[in-house]
Amino acid sequence: MTSGMGVLPHTDLEKGLALAMSVDIPFWPQLPKMRYEEDMYAQVAHRFPGSNINIEKRKVEFNRATFYEDLETYLFKVDDPHFFQLTPEASLVFHLFLEKDLSKYPAIRGQMEGPISFGLVVHDENDQPILYIDEVRQILFDFVARKVNSQLDQLLEKNPNTFMFIDEPGLQFIFSALSGYGDIQAKDEMNEMFSQIKGKRGIHLCGNPGWGFLLDLDIDILSFNAYDRGDVFVGYADRIKAFLDKGGVIAWGIVPVVYEDFNKESFDSLYKKIVDILDNLASKGVGRDLIRERSLLMPATCSLVNPDGDATVENGYKLLREISEKLKAEYH
């Protein structure tokens, strides 16, 4: 089955929402080009202590003094799930998604930007990434887990088969010796966060992290850029098999939606690419039935800066659905 990327380039709300609902497993789209409040970083910052969403600069700001001032209110509200909900001001798109009839789909999906990526992008008044401020990072991981659970509760009312993606585009940077925040600490803190999340949860990223690190996390779904990284990923066949055996699902991001990449590919080239990747994995001892049962198809990445606006992304999703249908027919 198919699903899609959380972030879409659309400026037309209804058009973006229609695309997000054109896949087998629909999702509510984040549309930052429509308005900055729909940006994934702004949505995490909503009600996070010490943060300010600067609409004019399209930037999340953070101040340590304000953080400590806000902390008392946060700790008072921490057990109130409504405090962590995305309000219509924080995401108009999310609330319009909830108004749809979502019960007829086999599953639906939500998403939230992850604490590592948020903590690397958002800096304090001294230009220090807040991921490196111990007391802030501790609250941040807890805050994201609670926001994910709050969103999950709202989506479960619409469809009992709901899962959540934690988007972590910045995760690849922690594997540098110069990161100052190592993968061992990250693994412990991420697993603690995942243990707080009540339902099915996965990680989505487009970069090149430590694949063994990801496959060992306490997650149900791993979504990644198979178009660029698939050949490297299948080199971890033993750990992939262990991940699938314990019930894990892999979402293969196979269709590029960046203008240059999309226009050098075709249905035949991309179909061959995903089949070759899956055959390669099967040749390393991972059963074909297991792979088929535990795979989803996705676009390879999001793209906000294509020269043709949303046209390439729209065409990419169409191609994704066509590849899915052929795979379903061929593999029964």
Would strands 221-224 and 249-255 be described as parallel, antiparallel, or unpaired? Answer: parallel
pLDDT number for residue 74:
93
Confidence of residue 309 (pLDDT cuts 50, 70, 90): very high
- Residues ≥6 apart with Cβ < 8 Å to 300: 206, 225, 226, 227, 228, 253, 254, 255, 256, 257, 258, 261
Model pLDDT, residue 61: 98
Q: How confident is the model at residue 262 (pLDDT cuts 50, 70, 90)?
A: very high
Domains of the chain, CATH where assigned: 13-45+86-331 (3.20.20.210)
Residue-level pLDDT at 58? 96
Q: Which 3 state secondary structure label does DSSP give 279?
A: helix
Q: pLDDT tens digits for 168-208?
A: 998 888 887 777 888 889 999 999 999 999 999 999 998 88
Per residue in 139-176, pLDDT (tens digit) is 999 999 999 999 999 999 999 999 999 999 988 888 87
> Cα–Cα–Cα angle for 171, 146, 243, nearest 5°?
50
pLDDT of residue 162: 97
Q: What is the pLDDT of residue 122?
A: 98
Sign, Cα dihedral of 174, 178, 180, 184: positive
Written as one string, the DSSP assignment of 107-126 is -EEEEEE-HHHHHHH-B-TT
**DSSP states along 203-259:** EE--S---HHHHHTSS-SEEEE-HHHHHHHHGGGHHHHHHHHHTT-EEEEEEE--SH
Distances from the Cα of 263 to the Cαs of 8, 40, 66, 124, in angstroms? 19, 28, 48, 41
The total number of residues written for the chain in this structure: 332
Residue 29 DSSP symbol: P
So what's the pLDDT on residue 220? 97
Residue 222: pLDDT above 80? yes
The pLDDT value recorded for residue 84 is 96
Helix (H) or strand (E) holding 200: strand 200-204
Please answer whether residues 136 and 115 qualify as being in contact, where contact means their C-beta atoms are separated by less than 8 angstroms: no
* Tokens, residue 56: 């004019």
- Order the strands of the 295-299 sheet from edge to edge: 108-113, 162-167, 200-204, 221-224, 249-255, 295-299
**Per-residue pLDDT at 206:** 85
Q: What is the pLDDT of residue 172?
A: 86
> If pLDDT is split at 50, 70 and 90, which confidence band does 41 have?
very high
Residue 331's pLDDT band, with cuts at 50, 70 and 90, is: confident
**Mean pLDDT, rounded, for 33-60:** 97
pTM score: 0.95
pLDDT-derived band at 263, boundaries 50, 70, 90: very high
pLDDT confidence of residue 207: 82
- Tens of pLDDT, residue by residue over 231-261, are 999 999 999 999 999 999 999 999 999 999 9
Supply φ then ψ for residue 209, to 5 degrees. -90, -160
**Exposure letters 34-50 (e unless 16+ CB within 10 A, then b):** bbbbbbbbbbbbbbbbb
